[in-house]
Chains A and B, each alone.
Chain A
Amino acid sequence: MEDIITEIQYDDLIESTGNTPILSDSYSEVEREILIDVKDVSMLFRLPAEKIDNLKEYFIKFLKRKIKYKDFWVLKNINLQVRRGESLALIGRNGAGKSTLLRLIAGIMEPAKGEITTKGVMAPLLKLGAGFDSNATGKENIFLNGAILGFSKKEMAKKYNSIVEFSELGDFMNVPIKNYSSGMMARLGFSIAVDVKPDILIVDEILAVGDAPFQKKCRTRIKQLQDSGTTFIVVSHSMETLKSLCQKAIWLKDGKIELSGSVAEVSSSYLKYCNEVSLDK
């Protein structure tokens, strides 16, 4: 059953883009190892209707049985598989569940229903300053972040110079991160993530804060990683970036997969939909 699904997706891809550089060579590509397997995943946010964060209110409300919860299904029955070396773009409007899906894949949250299995070293870049301690210096944070990704001090010491070089932040290594600009923070995070050569690289929007030359550098580096077999998942609202970096795309709408296929196909349908929405208003 799974094989049929994947074959269909691959056929779609080859058909629509004509010459897909990595995927078109042979059927052996279909046999590539599945790195991310999302099976029938749903995610529920159970939020208290009002925020209660002190004891007094909690007890009063509890006694009166007035703690109300609001159930909110962010993701509904999501199925997807990503194989080694593939790159996937997640597209959708704000609140469609893109970031939640990334967090689930990264293992930060557990799904309410369904199962997610992943293989290999994963480097999630989910938000600015993730995995950083704002009071620590850039240098300390490189080691901290490396540790979070599963690398010892010794291993990070070997990577240290190339990370600093790539980030172009050599002068700021002894400055606490809290004094960094958002662009600098993104640079540091990205430089670490690509230097550890992950099997899976997950990027949520953060590339947008870098300046043009750095963005270009990032794209080149991501392409290099892709060629060496890194699986890449990205969320972005810039269709141009997505088209240049990804082959496949998934459009999420209200927590469901609206459309999946080649990036060109999905992004054009999505843009069409966006135009309709803005015309309606």
Chain B
Amino acid sequence: MAFLNNNKSKANIVMLKKSVFVLNSLVSKNIRAQYRNSTLGVVWTVLNPLLNMLVMALVFGQFFGRTMPNVDYPVYVLAGNTVFGLLRMTTTSGLTCMVENYDMLTKTRIPYYVFPVSHLLSAVVNFGFSFIALLIVMLIRIPNGVKFYWTMLMTIVPFLPALMLFSLGIALILATMYVRFRDIKHFYGVILTLWTYLTPLFYNDAILSPKVRYLMNFNPMYHFVKYFRDIVQSGIVPSLESHLIIYGCGIAALTIGLLAFGSQKKKFIMYI
């Protein structure tokens, strides 16, 4: 019996080693695939958020910029989008990952978790590039009163792991549902647009009515975005409550995601 267990744990280690290799390969492929055949290549990963920010700052700066005299609007917009971008990228590509990798699922032997996790890690790499863009903008905006705070370091820990848990959880739930119901893709597209507008990415939540602001508390992304802006833009160490909220959301989403994915994964092969 002991021998059997030993054999099993050995097999698990081999599987884990394999998963790491596959993840490595998938992530670097995902990143390169995004900007394949473009002249500037990887430069786009930084340029893209920069240009997007520029457009938003130009368009919305006139409308919403005036409602927040104390913060620098371009940095405000870019910070919000950097956070939301990780969720958007992980969930939209995670949604279809099981169906798209049909060939790999039915003809090779790799743990299914590799696919959603690879999309999460690609999104984290992208987050890194967006963060570089954010730093560039902050440098440029120093004359306008932007300051750098040490609290920015809290992005890596504890902020990023919580956001990763949350995004992966949502991606797992969506991937599981998409295998059974192909409507989810279109449905989620609409939900995501709604979610983007219901999160104060380019407007200040101070302009909302008290009632809506209360409801805003039930939007997990509101707390993530607020936390990130606190540490990057305002130099505030968030309260214990903020930490509990973001980790609570992260762990809850991941638990539901793992339960859903785990209970259905053996059936994936039948439905795809």
Q: List A residues at the B interface (Cβ < 8 Å).
A: 45-47, 53-56, 58, 103, 106-110, 122, 124, 126-127, 129-133, 135-136, 140, 143-144, 146-153
Contacts and interface: CB of A to CB of B under 8 A. Distances in A.
21 contacts: A53-B180, A53-B182, A54-B181, A54-B183, A56-B183, A58-B180, A58-B181, A124-B108, A127-B106, A129-B103, A131-B103, A131-B108, A133-B29, A140-B29, A144-B22, A144-B29, A147-B25, A148-B104, A148-B110, A150-B17, A153-B24
B211 interface: no
Interface of B: 14, 17-18, 21-22, 24-26, 29, 32-33, 103-110, 180-184, 266, 269-271
Interface of A is mostly: loop
B22 A148 contact: yes
A54 B107 contact: no
Contact of A148 (B108, B180, B181): B108
Contact of A127 (B24, B105, B107): B107
Contacts of A135: 33
A47 B270 contact: yes
A127 B22 CA distance: 19
Contacts of A45: 270
Contacts of B103: 127, 129-132
Interface of B is mostly: helix
A166 B18 CA distance: 25
Contacts of B104: 130-131, 133, 148
A55 B183 contact: yes
A152 B107 contact: no
A139 to B, nearest CB: 11
Nearest to A108: B109
Contacts of A110: 266
Closest 6 A/B residue pairs (Cβ)? A130-B107, A147-B21, A131-B108, A126-B107, A147-B22, A107-B109
B254 to A, nearest CB: 24
Contact of B26 (A124, A144, A150, A151): A144
Instruction: Identify which of B25, B26, B105 gathers the most chain A CB atoms within 10 Å of its CB.
Output: B25
A141 B270 CA distance: 26
A172 to B, nearest CB: 16
Contacts of A122: 109
Contact of A147 (B18, B105, B106, B270): B18
Contacts of B26: 144
B266 to A, nearest CB: 7
A150 B107 contact: no
A153 B21 contact: yes
Given A45-B270, A129-B103, A147 B24 contact: yes
A42 B103 CA distance: 24
Contacts of A153: 21, 24-25
A33 to B, nearest CB: 14
A122 B15 CA distance: 12
A47 to B, nearest CB: 7
Contacts of B25: 140, 143-144, 147, 153
Contacts of A143: 25
B107 A136 contact: no
Contacts of B32: 140
A47 B267 CA distance: 11
Contact of A124 (B14, B21, B29, B107): B107
Contacts of A106: 108-109
Contacts of A132: 103
Contacts of A149: 18
A127 B105 CA distance: 12
B228 to A, nearest CB: 33
Given A135-B33, A148-B104, A54 B182 contact: yes
Contacts of B29: 133, 136, 140, 144
Contacts of B269: 108-109
A53 B181 CA distance: 5
Given A144-B26, A144-B29, A151-B21, A131 B270 contact: no
Contacts of B182: 53-54
Contacts of B24: 147, 153
Instruction: Identify which of A45, A122, A132 gathers the most chain B CB atoms within 10 Å of its CB.
Output: A132
A136 B26 CA distance: 10
A108 B105 CA distance: 7
